[in-house]
Structure 1
Amino acid sequence: MNGSTTMPQNGDKIDLQSETDVLLIIDVQNDFCPGGALAVPQGDEVVPVINGLSTRFNHVVLTQDWHTPGHQSFASSHDGKDPFQTAHLPYGEQVLWPDHCVQGTPGANFHADLQTDRAQMVIRKGFRPQMDSYSAFYENDHMTATGLTGYLRQRGAKRLFLVGLATDFCVLYSALDARHARFETYVIDDACRAIDLEGSLAQAHAAMEREGVHRITSEALL
């Protein structure tokens, strides 16, 4: 699934299709915004952009990190490990994170200014204590499905437009899995922000290009 990165040129616009286009909003939660336990730099800046975009779509889906206390992806669950180190778990190498988005805590809530009323579905992920989940489609074993693919197929979706946090982790893996499921996939750059851990943003952009994910800006849709 090769394809080139696409950026709007000379004011090019994308005509949205009301019945087959979906806005997929990834993890715009308090813990990923400034002041949160795993804050993405300028993460809150995506909120007004996403709010503006969501009014253009008939189909909106949200994802929400929803970890159990003591989740295996937390550094605090591994003696001698610090956040952002790695550990080998049964499904592979796992970055260890600060405790974040724990079920029922304020940090797991959506950002207060994010408009969620238009969302028709919320996919909660990472709720299995032994397994993390970056993608909206699969847990990190790349086999355990969230059910999103079937939902989108039954709704007749053809194009997915991804926004949210963070570009180089949950947005990236969601975009790659969307391509693997044969959806035409767009990442809206100015409606995302990255952690950029040791060059992870550049690596994410390269992976998107290899798999035919289009990168655009919100200007192409507004």
Structure 2
Amino acid sequence: MTSALLLIDLQNDFCPGGALAVTEGDQTIAVANQAIAACSNAGWHIVASQDWHPENHRSFAVNSGQQAWTLGELEGLPQVWWPAHCIEQQSGADFHPELNKAAITFVVHKGQNADIDSYSAFFDNGKLAATGLDEWLHQQQITHLVVMGLATDYCVKFSVLDALSLGYQVTLIAEGCRAVNLAASDGEQAILDMQQAGAQIQTLQTWLSTLA
């Protein structure tokens, strides 16, 4: 089994002070850096996804004439109308400054099609286009992913569910994630959904002990 660490959207706009700030989002960075150090020592690839939206993305409430944080429909798919966030080439889309970016092997961008949202690091929400992540992982013969990042109930969950459906073994480091929680229990439910789909949920220390 060949493993890789997959970091989901550890970007400025999802951390406190950002345009779509997740509560305690910045607390994932120290967890990620511990995981990066361990994986680097073990010779693993370290992969990261970035939301990378054009400024005219239709999931942005301001572009669709909707109120942010409300629910609607975009191109026939359920849609949360988000504040404008992670606009390509802007500082909000950058990785958090404290993240050990130098160790990242491969970065995959998502959400570049203005007409459809893209929570998963593998596909857009309609499964109309792949990001190239699955192809790259196959080239590296990776079969197991250790996943953490932002946010538990959206981009982490959809990435994990897609990874499982593509045949990867998945371990989720729950303390390396934080949730949007439009409803108070969304994060907890997302972890349950991932576990029921086949993901193994571990603490950072338990997982680190498997590498020792």
What TM-score do you get using the length of structure 2 for normalisation? 0.92
- Mapped contact 1:23–1:162 kept (Cα < 8 A): yes
Q: Which moved more, 1:140-149 or 1:196-205?
A: 196-205
Using the alignment, how far apart are the partners of 1:185 and 1:163 within structure 2?
11
Structure 2: give runs of 5+ residues left out of the alignment: none
How far did 1:210 drift? 2.1
How far did 1:70 drift? 2.1
CA RMSD, 1 decimal: 1.2
Aligned counterpart, 2:12:
30
Aligned counterpart, 2:83:
98
Moved >2 Å (runs of 4+): none
Q: Secondary structure at the match of 1:56?
A: helix
* 1:70 and 2:52 are equivalent in the alignment: no
- Summarize deviations over 1:68-98 as a string: whole Å, max 9, x none: 112110000122x211112221141111100
Q: Which moved more, 1:153-162 or 1:195-204?
A: 195-204
How far did 1:188 drift? 0.3
- Mapped contact 1:91–1:140 kept (Cα < 8 A): no
- Summarize deviations over 1:93-152 as a string: whole Å, max 9, x none: 111100000111111111000001111110000011111110000011123111111111
> What is the percentage of aligned positions where both structures have the same residue?
40
Shift in alpha-carbon separation, 1:179–1:110, aligned structure 2, 3 A: same
Structure 1: give runs of 5+ residues left out of the alignment: 1-16
RCO higher in structure (CA 8 A, sep ≥6)? 1
- Mapped contact 2:7–2:49 kept (Cα < 8 A): yes
Aligned with 1:211 (options 178, 193, 197): 197
Aligned with 2:161 (options 166, 170, 176): 176
How far did 1:206 drift? 2.6
One-letter identity of the residue aligned with 2:34:
G
Q: Secondary structure at the match of 1:128?
A: coil
Q: Which moved more, 1:183-192 or 1:197-206?
A: 197-206
- Mapped contact 2:119–2:158 kept (Cα < 8 A): yes
- Mapped contact 1:135–1:171 kept (Cα < 8 A): yes
- Summarize deviations over 1:136-195 as a string: whole Å, max 9, x none: 000111231111111111111111000110011000000000000110001101111111
